[in-house]
Amino acid sequence: MPPSPVPLSSRTLGELDDRVDRPAYDRTQVRAGIVHFGVGGFHRAHQAMYLDRLMNDGKALEWGICGVGALPHDRRIIDTLRAQDGLYTLVVKHPDGRREPRVIGSIVETMFAPEDPAAVVDRLAGEETRIVSTTITEGGYLVNQVTGEFDAEDPSIQADLAADFAGGDSPTTVFGFIVAALDRRRREGAEPFTVMSCDNLPDNGDVAKRMMCAFARVKDPALADWMEREVAFPNCMVDRITPVTTAEDIERLEDEFGVRDGWPVVCEPFEQWVLEDHFGQGRPPFEDAGVQMVDDVVPYELMKLRLLNASHQALCYLGHLAGYRYAHEVCQDPLFVEFLLAYMEREGTPTLPEVPGVDLDRYRHQLIERFANPEVRDTLARLCAESSDRIPKWLVPVIRANLDSGGEIDRSALVVASWARYAEGVDERGEPIEVVDRLKDRVMAAAARQGDDRLAFIRDRDLFGGLADDERFAAAYTAALDALHSKGARATLEALAEKDVQKDAVKGGEGMKGS
């Protein structure tokens, strides 16, 4: 019989299978200089992994992580990490089936904010905290999609806007915790910590600064002025496909490597972090762990958002409607690969500035290879979730740029139409679709009106601005939506591919005439 699985904890590290890498450093010597909100899979496959890599080289021991869960559903991950002394297993899944497990030890403290909010403010306000980082999803920054300004009417933030933090009221949101702690540091004459957003937003640091300062301005204009002047908000681009951990992932880690881990993280081999070198109270030597430290993150951000993230949206709704359920299934289908490459080359890439040191053609094909990794098993359901926070930030800017320049929009219009078709809540076989979105009722209600008004879905100006009023986009969108209803996703893609062939043939003929 195989040996019994080893429950993961500091005490049992020495009992793990030799195939499982583990911290080579003394974790009792690590001090938490970073507080991170949102200790989900992405943070643990990315930022925490880079810090663990540095610590294994004997560096950054003063930059351990205190992981904070701010929402009620975060209790499970915090409880799991606490039971394992902050340890977890990161499993890298290679396309050939190999799995590389590594125990990550950079999270050395955990806090559940609803349990003791005052303690979280104390931790943030303490001088040992020099960086506060966040992965709170794209929608967590409370940006009005049309104006780009802080949405002060969002229900989630009302209690914190009305609270008197200096008078002892406790925050309930990430904005509240960060601003309350910065206010205390200001009043005590202490230096502010750096706020480092790691979410998939264009100019994520600038957005975090603008939104948090706007939140602070509602409460105290002097505090907002101080934050704008004194607090560093670096921009960064983070990239690693990290699907939701499944029960099978947990079982395979136990069966193959003998590690009993309540919540391991699985990810692809690829990793990238491009980070603006703008920190107020120092930083770890990230560059020694492979992080690209740059003066301007924008070209890299736009590359990722408009090629990788927008392509995820391009494949997920159409793929689901066509009967697929995983990203790798879609990206092993030549018809879909042709569509995705055409979107990236003909619509996404023309809107990008020069990206220093990157071969964009190679990058585009590498994305297809990454999406096609059968071991990652990234679900289309994950990619289809929270579309109202994604499409406006990742794809709508591509559409607007191409409309302004006279560029191509047919594929982007089809992606928006596929979201609208998906939001009807029934697939092409009549099976129900579970729409997961913070604006679920709103987008599904709009999709339900499409029979009477084909532009109903894109009339939502908070999501699409004035796209419904643009004749060229409206024509492309309604044609795509009609095709999805009458022919289905696959036949629609086939017709688009044939149209591209004819268009390229005409261009080729014109080129021959001019030569």
Whole-prediction pTM: 0.89
CA distances from 251 to 124, 181, 247, 260, 283 (A): 37, 41, 6, 8, 37
What does the block give as tokens for 282? 């120092």
Token pair 């949101």 is found at 173
- pLDDT score for 511: 61
Name residue 252's amino acid. R
Identify which of 437, 438, 457 has the alpha carbon closest to the alpha carbon of residue 448: 457
- pLDDT score for 147: 82
- pLDDT score for 280: 97
Separation CA 338–CA 401 (nearest Å) = 22
What domains lie within the chain, and their CATH numbers?
A: 6-294 (3.40.50.720), 298-514 (1.10.1040.10)
401-426 pLDDT, tens digit per residue, is: 999 999 999 999 999 999 999 999 99
**CB-based contacts of 419: which residues, under 8 Å, 6+ apart?**
313, 317, 387, 391, 457
As beta bridge partners, residue 263 has none
Burial class (CB in 10 A: 0-12, 13-18, 19+), 203: middle
Residue 275, classed as helix, strand or coil, is: strand
Could you give phi then psi for residue 77, rounded to 5 degrees? -70, -35
- pLDDT score for 503: 80
- pLDDT score for 404: 98
Number of Cβ atoms within 10 Å of the Cβ of 259 = 27
In the chain, which residues have pLDDT < 70? 1-2, 509-515
- Spatial contact of 31 and 60, defined as CB atoms under 8 Å apart: no
